[in-house]
């Protein structure tokens, strides 16, 4: 459960951020209550699972937001139509559903809530209800972890870095960019360590956290079959960016959460650019 002092701190940054934490807290109670229990599982695609816990967490988060805000809500399970919205709440009620249902570890499942105004993300919350950790950010006012300021540690070199690869469960949707970068990162010119664990969008705030976490994550995201929707991106992106990290597309531009394409998530601009340089160099011939 998110502490009252942390919610109060978030409210001091903005009332809307305090509301987002309250909604995440309520959804988190649903997730924690269902962790380790038998759940009715549906498959949206190969390796893409959803349960009644996702739906109930979505319902209660959206209910709390709508009680105190007139803005529309985009959410992964219940309100996925995001067309033409400049001002909206963006909700992923249970990120890392596969890890949650497979009981892979308490560090994976999270609630992601963000607020967009004038097409710009203004705040974000990433709450891990099983471990009790909460990360949040207000645009221009920094990123925070359990009420303490979150700042990315300096990390200078790709060849000394841990890179986490976030792939599709169904290989048919994997992009050429991702396949090629996967090989390059495991070459003599690549990263020190490359891993591929259960995918979760909350990896971005772990990157900001530093010790014991990767410095870079690569999310594959095929426009023909998106894996990372706006609900997966918005909250982790603003938290990492306010802490000093970056979300980049294959062209080196800031990730547009409404445009599906592969994503480079890095602890620093320098590291992100080193990945992009590796992606374009002739190093495998």
Q: Report residue 158 as tokens.
A: 């790709």
Q: Is the pLDDT of residue 102 over 90?
A: no
217: helix, strand or coil: strand
* 181-207 pLDDT per residue, tens: 999 999 999 999 999 988 899 999 999
pLDDT number for residue 26: 97
* 70-84 pLDDT per residue, tens: 999 999 877 766 666
| pLDDT band, very low/low/confident/very high, at 46 (cuts 50, 70, 90) | very low
Contact predicate 111/96, CB 8 Å: no
Q: How many CB atoms lie within 10 A of CB 121?
A: 21
Contact predicate 123/138, CB 8 Å: yes
* 1-38 pLDDT per residue, tens: 899 999 999 999 999 999 999 999 999 999 999 887 65
Q: Going by DSSP bridges, is the β-strand pair 48-51/246-248 parallel, antiparallel, or unpaired?
A: unpaired
Q: Which residue is listed with tokens 């469960």?
A: 169
Q: Report residue 125 as tokens.
A: 């919350």
CA atoms of 131 and 105, how far apart (whole Å): 10
Which has the closest alpha carbon to 232: 148, 121, 70, 119? 121
User: Is this structure's pTM higher than 0.85?
Assistant: yes
* 111-151 pLDDT per residue, tens: 999 999 999 999 999 999 999 999 999 999 999 999 999 99
218: left (phi over 0), alpha (psi -120 to 50) or beta: beta
């Amino acid at each position: 459960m998110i502490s009252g002092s942390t919610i109060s701190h978030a409210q001091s940054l903005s009332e809307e951020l305090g509301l987002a934490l309250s909604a995440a807290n309520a959804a988190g109670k649903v997730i924690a209550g269902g962790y380790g229990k038998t759940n009715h599982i549906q498959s949206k695609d190969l390796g893409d699972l959803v349960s009644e816990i996702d739906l109930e967490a979505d319902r209660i988060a959206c209910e709390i937001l709508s009680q105190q805000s007139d803005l529309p809500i985009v959410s992964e399970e219940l309100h996925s139509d995001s067309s033409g919205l400049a001002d909206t709440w963006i909700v992923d009620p249970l990120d890392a559903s596969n890890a949650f249902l497979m009981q892979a570890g308490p560090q994976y499942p999270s609630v992601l809530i963000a607020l967009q105004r004038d097409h710009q993300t203004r705040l974000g919350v990433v709450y891990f209800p099983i471990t009790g950790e909460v990360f949040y950010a207000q645009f221009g006012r920094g990123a925070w972890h359990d009420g303490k300021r979150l700042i990315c540690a300096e990390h200078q070199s790709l060849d000394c870095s841990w890179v986490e690869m976030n792939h599709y469960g169904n290989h048919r949707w994997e992009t050429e960019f991702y396949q090629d970068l996967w090989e390059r990162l495991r070459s003599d010119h690549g990263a020190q360590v490359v891993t591929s664990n259960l995918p979760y969008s909350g990896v971005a705030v772990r990157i900001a956290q530093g010790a014991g976490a990767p410095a870079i994550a690569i999310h594959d995201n095929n426009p023909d079959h998106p894996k990372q929707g706006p609900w997966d991106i918005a909250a982790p992106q603003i938290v990492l960016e306010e802490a000093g990290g970056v979300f980049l597309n294959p062209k080196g531009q800031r990730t547009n959460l409404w445009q599906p394409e592969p994503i480079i998530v890095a602890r620093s601009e320098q590291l992100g650019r080193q990945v992009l340089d590796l992606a374009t160099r002739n190093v495998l011939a």
